[in-house]
Structure 1
Amino acid sequence: MNFDLEEDQRALVNTVERLVAKEYTFEQRQRYAELPNGWSPDVWDRLAEIGVMALPFSEHDGGLGGGPADFMLAMQSLGKAALLEPFVSSIVLCGSILKRGTIAEVRSHWIPQLCDGSLRLAFAHAEPGSRHGMEAANTCARRDGDTWLLVGSKRLVLHGDSADGFFVSARIQSVAGHSGVLGIFHVNADAEGLQRKSYALLDGTRCADLQLNNVSAQSMVIEGAQEVLENVWCDAASAVCWDSIGSMQALLDLTVDYLKTRRQFGRAIGSFQVLQHRAVDMLMALEQSRSMAMYAAMTCDGSLEERQRSISATKIQICDSSRFIAQQAIQLHGGIGMTQEYQVGHYVRRLLVLESLFGDREFHLSRLSRTDGVFSR
């Protein structure tokens, strides 16, 4: 198959990577992490200006109508920066809910605000003890006149500390024909009865735990919400796979540069064949991940079962490759690879976080083992 980039795709990659090179150096990222929200509002605005946020949405909904290949290229380029901004939480997760679960009138209200960066949403689904399953939502939704009241707890809400609003999954109670059914609801960040506890993950990404005590909410998706969420989970898992590929590429580039410049015994250590072989092994692991992620992207319009198989297989490969590349990068750098002042350790932490998002290796291996294999029909 031909994976050469088209002219428009090359322009997209160049635009995103120029932004990353200019406004997301390692030193700048360290400064952004210390800001009140843990990320840069200026970079967020720049991402909106160059159209990256509008890329996954159709032109009818106010987006740019980019395809899966365009979006994966953008995610890969952003992954090289180990982006701290709420891109996955707002654009990927909540954007996918709007694309897959709402009518045109609703999309025309919400999506343009996501595209221009004026609205930041976060998706609240995980709960204490729920692990990675999509069905284990115990938060309750009860009808109260024209609105809904939500009661429950949510954990690990990506960028939930700075979101303007939340899409919250909850089980519907005491409504004829829908009792016990999963629904998705919108909650304003300043809603009465909503409490947030913020914290940072290992790589600096901000999160929050939510406590909802009879919080007023607006219904977003009721009919077919379970299938919508399953597809949204696939979208998000695919996005973090490409994010991981960007970080793995950055680690490989750093390691190769180090091998070329670090001298020992009067010569660059990259001239030693055994270290060259280890660098090639890193490249092979990266290309294996890239190939699997391309396969997963190609199934984006397939059945849910096919998508889940391809995503699980891809995530397993990504987890294996990221662990291998991270370990090799640290070993080939030596002690400097673990210092706070050098980039390598920060990329390793990033990969460890991405590995656990939207299903870790054990979750996806278990799910794949319950099917007839990756390529079954």
Structure 2
Amino acid sequence: MTETDTEIRMMLVDSARRWTERACTPELRSMTSEHATGCPPERWGELAELGWLGIAMPEADGGMGAGLPEQCLLAEQLGRALLTEPFVSNAVLGNSLMDAVAHGALRASWLPELASGERRVAWSAWEPDGAALLMHPSAKAKREGEFWRVSGAKGLMPGAGGADALLVTAQLAHDTTRTGLFLVETTATDMTLKNERLYDGRHAASVLMNNVKASLLQEASTEDLLQLLSQVLDRGLVAHCAETLGTAQAAFDITLDYVRTRRQFGRALGQNQIVQHRLVDLYVELQETRALCLEAAQAPQSRRVAALALRTGHVARHTWEEAIQLHGAIGMTDEYALGAYVRRLALAADLYGTSTDHSDRLANISLGAMA
């Protein structure tokens, strides 16, 4: 990375910090959370005006032509500020998948408007069983002229509520060994979106489709399509980890400030050696995970991403556990700033797969490499 690249990234981080200080106050986060879908259009438009929605999209499609490292720098700052809007699920996952598979007139129609914030797309990646894993789809698709009809359900996905279109997978009725990736506009009839507010204030939605009109974006054998989707999901996972690290760093900073000022028995809590050791251990974990995140963002290979996701889940849990233990009961109250960070970290640890999921994946990749 050149000196110019470093300066540009520093400017990006600085602009994100300045914007979040103004736009991510507790009052504004609460307003967003209380919105019907958790993403007011005017707020999404602000992110677009800053160029952040299309930062990694090609310049020919209205983007800025940057990459995953820049998206992760943004995601970390947005996670530090507890942004409620679905940046990772829509601007990273949804837009990345559209960039990977959309062609021709559909690409020309959708990608510039995704970058400008005029439209928003979500990838409903999970099956209805609640697991955050890529699996063979249970939905079915049948051809009807130049369009398709899709029937089936998809599980809760952040950012799906209020999106203009969903990306869904479905088995092809004429050949169940093949799977298609479809674009389904949410204005379609016979589609039901069930929006829910999660316990950290963000929103997610499940979808039920009954013979819904859809456009086919990609068709392949189920295994080949899942491989392509896994590569896109890995990009989203890295951005999610960066966002989670930003939240964990903020919780750490709040805790460090607390133990420096809270006094017991005539001295600050932070003067106790055991407290110092615990915070130093947590600080080292955060820095190690950030380094792993930077490496994965530069080259999101499956083994690196699985290791990062596993490590980030551990750090998220360790951070909120230590923060609550060192704060005592005040750390669990809604009135105190830490409470919002604890809820975000508790959800983030499993939002895109549990530690068991990532551990199993890492083991399978490692064993496959040894075979």
The 1:67–1:123 alpha-carbon spacing in structure 2 relative to 1, beyond 3 Å, is closer
Distance across 2 between alignment mates of 1:375 and 1:318? 23
State how 1:341-352 maps to structure 2 within 5 Å: 341-352=335-346
Q: In the alignment, residue 228 of structure 1 is paired with which amino acid?
A: L
Q: In the alignment, residue 141 of structure 1 is paired with which amino acid?
A: A
Query: Which residue of the other structure, out of 343, 353, 372, is the alignment partner of 2:347?
Result: 353
What are the superposed Cα offsets for residues 290-334 of structure 1, whole Å, 9 maximum, x if unpaired? 12212211223xxxxxx2211111111111111111111111111
* Aligned-residue CA RMSD (Å): 2.3
Distance across 1 between alignment mates of 2:122 and 2:68? 22
Distance across 1 between alignment mates of 2:358 and 2:105? 36
Distance across 2 between alignment mates of 1:288 and 1:124? 32
Distance across 2 between alignment mates of 1:234 and 1:350? 21
State how 1:231-242 maps to structure 2 within 5 Å: 231-242=231-242
Question: Whose helix proportion is higher, 1 or 2?
Answer: 2
Query: Which residue of the other structure, out of 318, 322, 327, is the alignment partner of 1:328?
Result: 322
Distance across 2 between alignment mates of 1:370 and 1:69? 26
Shift of 1:9: 0.6
Distance across 1 between alignment mates of 2:163 and 2:71? 23
Asked if 1:218 is matched to 2:215, the reply is: yes
State how 1:128-143 maps to structure 2 within 5 Å: 128-129=128-129, 131-143=131-143
Q: Could you list the runs of 4 or more consecutive aligned residues of structure 1 that deviate by over 6 angstroms after TM superposition?
A: 1-5, 373-377
Shift of 1:180: 3.0
Map of 2:256 onto structure 1: 256
Distance across 2 between alignment mates of 1:47 and 1:376? 44
Asked if 1:209 is matched to 2:206, the reply is: yes
2:286–2:315 Cα contact (<8 Å) kept: yes
Asked if 1:25 is matched to 2:21, the reply is: no
1:313–1:374 Cα contact (<8 Å) kept: no
> SS in structure 1 opposite 2:123?
strand
Map of 2:86 onto structure 1: 86
Map of 1:304 onto structure 2: none
Q: In the alignment, residue 47 of structure 1 is paired with which amino acid?
A: L
Shift of 1:94: 1.5
State how 1:46-125 maps to structure 2 within 5 Å: 46-103=46-103, 105-125=105-125
1:89–1:121 Cα contact (<8 Å) kept: no
Map of 1:283 onto structure 2: 283
1:101–1:228 Cα contact (<8 Å) kept: no
1:90–1:114 Cα contact (<8 Å) kept: no
Distance across 2 between alignment mates of 1:21 and 1:100? 33
The 1:127–1:3 alpha-carbon spacing in structure 2 relative to 1, beyond 3 Å, is farther
Distance across 1 between alignment mates of 2:340 and 2:271? 27
Query: Which residue of the other structure, out of 310, 315, 338, is the alignment partner of 1:316?
Result: 310
Shift of 1:362: 0.3
Distance across 1 between alignment mates of 2:78 and 2:117? 16
Shift of 1:347: 1.3
Asked if 1:340 is matched to 2:327, the reply is: no
78-87 vs 123-132, which moves further = 123-132
Structure 2, unaligned stretches of length 5 or more?
none
Map of 2:154 onto structure 1: 154
Shift of 1:139: 0.2
Asked if 1:368 is matched to 2:353, the reply is: no
What are the superposed Cα offsets for residues 186-244 of structure 1, whole Å, 9 maximum, x if unpaired? 11112111012111222122111211111111112224533321111111111110011
Shift of 1:149: 0.5
Distance across 2 between alignment mates of 1:79 and 1:376? 37
Q: In the alignment, residue 260 of structure 1 is paired with which amino acid?
A: R
| TM-score, normalised with respect to structure 1 | 0.91
| TM-score, normalised with respect to structure 2 | 0.93
> SS in structure 2 opposite 1:98?
helix
> SS in structure 2 opposite 1:157?
strand
Distance across 2 between alignment mates of 1:239 and 1:232? 11
Q: What is the aligned length?
A: 368
Distance across 2 between alignment mates of 1:257 and 1:216? 54
> SS in structure 1 opposite 2:193?
strand
48-57 vs 215-224, which moves further = 215-224
